[in-house]
Amino acid sequence: MSNSKNDEIGFSLSSQSIAKGHGQFPYIIVRLHYAIYLQEPIHFHPKKNNELIGINIDSNFENKIENFPKLLSIASEYKQSLDTKNNRNHRLCVVLSPNQAYYYEENEIRFLPSIPSGGTLVNSRKEIIAMGNSHFIS
Amino acid sequence: MEKQLVVRLKSGHEITFVPNEVILNNTFIDVPSLLNENKFPLLLHFTHEALVSTLNLSKMPDCVLLHLKDDFSPKSATYCINREIGDFAVHSQCKLVLFIPFPLPFELKKIKSIQLSKKSKS
């Protein structure tokens, strides 16, 4: 269960998960349950890449940051579709960097300089991809 | 009471920033040193009578400055993106300047209004 340094409990994102787009900014984190989080990577590219898991957005911008102004709309649409699908309100945030996240709360979106970390991280197939580690690769 | 700045977008989204407010009477401010003690979002509130404040932004983390009128409505903005080594400063005519980390997840031109809201700390 542990492939971290020393004898710490948990494990970090595998190279397979990273190759599928996990652990790279920007991404959405959905709180599924106490300390259980779903990570939904957001990919911007001119052509669809079937190897990547997550939200795929068509874009011709070469510089990734030029796509960031779309993130709030993307996260809002994702939340609306998730809320409708599961018939409940989901707590989620869109994470832009190690110290920048926008949290969807009851009636507002709130900026915080801290991002979700640790717990059990799963992908959209509900497979566990990390545990007790950061949700991004440095 | 917690001071909050609510940014309303034309899309209907409302984004709340709880700024770390620093009240200053100086006209020259070394902003990076203020960031050592105050995290983003940072709100500078000038109380001096001069027409402009000079903000030293050298070696600042990438951010956006929103220059706000006295009622917190937006007047102008500055992108502070340090890609080269060198000194970098801007002048602001506003008594309130909000610093938000760059990049933003929305377009500045989509801001409809910015308003002050005060809520009890939970």
B59-94 pLDDT, tens per residue?
999 999 999 999 999 999 999 998 778 889 999 999
In the structure encoding, which two tokens stand for residue B28, read together?
Answer: 């020259």
Q: What is the Cα–Cα distance from A52 to B33, expressed in whole angstroms?
A: 41
Partners of A100 on chain B (C-beta within 8 Å) are 40, 101
Instruction: Find the CB nearest B39 among A76, A96, A113.
Output: A113
Radius of gyration of chain B, Cα coordinates, nearest whole angstrom: 14
Q: Are A109 and A136 in contact (CB under 8 A)?
A: no
Interface of B with A in 58-77 (CB under 8 A): none
CA dihedral over A19, A23, A29, A34, signed as positive or negative: positive
Are the beta carbons of B15 and A71 separated by less than 8 Å? no
Interface of A with B in 26-85 (CB under 8 A): 26, 65, 68-73, 75-76
Are the beta carbons of A68 and B15 separated by less than 8 Å? no
In the structure encoding, which two tokens stand for residue B7, read together?
Answer: 């940014």
Q: What is the Cα–Cα distance from A125 to A44, expressed in whole angstroms?
A: 21
Partners of A65 on chain B (C-beta within 8 Å) are 103
pTM reported for the whole predicted model: 0.92
Residues of chain B with pLDDT under 70: 121-122
Predicted-assembly ipTM surpassing the 0.90 threshold: yes
Q: What integer pLDDT is reported at residue A2 of this predicted model? A: 45
Q: Is B101 on the interface with A (CB under 8 A)?
A: yes
Partners of A73 on chain B (C-beta within 8 Å) are 11, 106
Percent of chain A surpassing pLDDT 90: 73
Are the beta carbons of B103 and A109 separated by less than 8 Å? no
Going residue by residue through chain A (138 aa), what tens digit of pLDDT does each one get?
444 455 568 899 999 999 999 999 999 999 999 999 999 999 998 777 777 889 988 888 867 889 999 999 999 999 999 999 999 999 999 999 999 999 998 888 999 999 999 999 999 999 999 999 999 998
The residue type of A26 is: P
Instruction: Find the CB nearest B14 among A26, A73, A109.
Output: A109
